[in-house]
Amino acid sequence: MSVAASGVVIADAGPLIGLARIGQLDLLPQLFGRVTVTSFVADEVLAGGTFADQALLQAAFAQDWLVVVPMDDLGPHAWHVLCRDLMSLHQIDMGEASAMVLAQQWRDEQAKSVLLLIDDHRGRQAALHCAVATMGTAGLLVLAKQTGRIAAIKPLLLALRQAGYFLSDRLIQAVLLQAGE
């Protein structure tokens, strides 16, 4: 059974790319069952250029646990205006903004709990401003350890850093402390 059985999990590109870089994308369906991304996030991940882990991400998008929601399917709402406002106000990109707008809409219209997977600091601040719950890649790893899906976090954090993912020493120490390592 997944951790988020009663809610919805929406991901921005950062956690998908980070987990792919360390070969841990399979943690997402293990922890959450299904993960939703907007079409903008999917485009950012799949068409954003060529990088080493793109094949892993393409394979994940071909599986049924990773669901792409076209923003045009959101109905008559002015989602594009909301995205532009978030982008302007918080200096975030369209993927982050679209994920946040989707999270807000589903939370408000479907009365479901929503968790937004996002790493970018500005994006997390914007989500806080919008009252959207967040979790980053490091938090995902803590959750994976707490639920017995991984044995240790430190090697994965160091692998993320080695792969070019920015993690400060302070963040690594805080995460290791939280994980009991």
* Residues 41 and 99 sit within 8 Å (Cβ to Cβ): yes
Print burial letters for 82-91: b (CB count within 10 Å at least 16), e (below 16): bbeebbeebe
pLDDT band at 164 (very low <50, low <70, confident <90, very high): confident
Task: For residue 64, count CB atoms less than 10 angstroms from its CB and return exposed for 0-12, middle for 13-18, buried for 19 or more.
Answer: exposed
pLDDT digits (tens, 9 = 90+) for 65-94: 999 988 765 555 566 656 566 655 567 677
Domains and CATH numbers, the chain: 7-179 (3.40.50.1010)
> Is the distance from CB of 66 to CB of 28 less than 8 angstroms?
yes
Q: Does pLDDT of 168 surpass 50?
A: yes
What gap in Å lies between CA 100 and CA 93, rounded to an integer? 11
- In this prediction, residue 149 carries a pLDDT of 95
R_g (Cα) of the chain, nearest Å: 16
Q: pLDDT tens-digit profile of 47-58?
A: 766 666 777 888
Q: Model confidence over 98-151: pLDDT tens digits?
A: 888 888 777 777 667 889 999 988 888 888 888 888 999 999 999 999 999 999
pLDDT computed for residue 48 by the predictor: 61
Say how far apart CA 149 and CA 54 lie, in whole Å: 24
